[in-house]
Amino acid sequence: MSSAAQPAPPANCGLQVLWDDRLTGYDFGPGHPMNPVRVELTIALAREYGLFDRPNVRVTAFEPADDKLLARVHEESYIAAVRHAGATGLPEPGRGIGTADNPVFLGMHDASALIAGASVAGARAVWEGGAEHAVNVSGGLHHAMAGAASGFCVYNDAALAIAWLLDNGAERVAYVDVDVHHGDGVQALFYDDPRVMTVSLHETPRTLFPGTGFPSETGGSGAEGTAVNVALPPGTGDAAWLRAFEAVVPPLLRAFAPQVLVTQHGADVHALDPLAHLILTLDGQRTAYRRLHGLAHEVAGGRWLATGGGGYELVQVVPRAWTHLIAEAAGLPIAPETPTPDPWREFVRQRTDEVAPRRMTDGTTEVEVRTWETGFDPANPVDQAVLATRRAVFPEHGLDPMTDL
């Protein structure tokens, strides 16, 4: 099966893009992998392609999350600790603030609350009908826990968006995380809540932070089968990753029937990412975006909130990946062979002193995928990972681990 065999998502979808230049203030300082230039270059590239000038796309203002909203998923004492550290510069290592992963920076609370507010505004837009889809490329801070910062993440914007949806009438929300790292914070915050299905495809925790995300993590009492983890071996590339995706995500989303789809799109699955060991291309990632867009229309009435996430190849990977995400969510996909605009390449040179990529592809127009219906290969480590996940959760949804698609 080719990715082209999947039904094409609708064109010209109503899209709300949550952006404010102040979002680049989420900055852990020089030398930290999570440099905000990656989102700056993303927005600049999307603008050069004219995506924000299309009549179906709106770039909208939003408010930062206030303490009451943050407390929906975070401990009040933790919020106070973040605010204190951001005002004084003093670490709170017991709260994960002031560590190598999460150095203190002045204004930490305000910058983090702004990202959270953007994702919640996107959730509100898709739930209340302000837009079919919403994108917050600065979001996806999926490691933040109720009472601690973790893995470059201070406030868990995706979890806050999901909590807002639940508080405002949503009965079933699905969260799909395609970052190379396990979406541990979102899973932990909803582990016992049967209204939320969290699905994470990631590099195996045996070789990568945060050390969680085994197939056996399937949800707490009363929520069995709503935590779904596909732990992939290092070296997994486009075709194998997409095979795993197709074997797990669509059948579970169809069975769960969410009213809203929330997705996290860490670009660190790319072969060039310096912090992990999967080897997807930009084209494999673009294919995943198209599939998630189609699934949002198929299973969730088109209600789709997409966020950014990890991604530490700041020039060659993240800006192109997330520009493809924005374009896909708008129903205006960019052809992979499209050249990157000359003004953007010059902006990249000025901002980073690097040579920008010249096309919106890594060289593959379509990724061929051998789907699960072709049969299970017991010698293939990706198939082993997929089957472990299907065996762990499919029966909870009345699905056959070997055959159902």
Distance CA 157, CA 106 (A): 20
Helix and strand counts by DSSP (H, E) for the chain: 11, 8
Q: And the tokens for 344? A: 């953007």
Distance CA 4, CA 367 (A): 8
* Beta pairing partners, 390: none
Task: Provide long-range contacts, Cβ within 8 A and 24+ apart, for 99-108.
Answer: 99/149, 101/149, 101/150, 101/151, 101/152, 102/28, 102/149, 102/150, 102/151, 102/152, 102/153, 102/154, 103/28, 103/29, 103/32, 105/27, 105/28, 105/29, 107/25, 108/82, 108/154
Q: Kindly tell me the sign of the dihedral angle through the C-alpha atoms of 281, 39, 261, 293.
A: negative
HSE of 86 in the Cβ direction (CA atoms, 13 Å)?
19
Q: What distances in angstroms separate CA 391 from CA 176, 189, 203, 226, 255, one per listed residue?
A: 19, 24, 19, 13, 15
Q: Kindly tell me the sign of the dihedral angle through the C-alpha atoms of 250, 253, 255, 258.
A: negative
End-to-end C-alpha distance for the chain, whole angstroms: 14
Q: And the tokens for 148? A: 């601690």
Choosing from 74, 133, 142, 143, which is the catalytic residue? 143
133 catalytic? Reply is: no
**What is the DSSP secondary-structure string of 62-80?**
-PPP-HHHHTTTS-HHHHH
> Which residues are catalytic, by number?
143
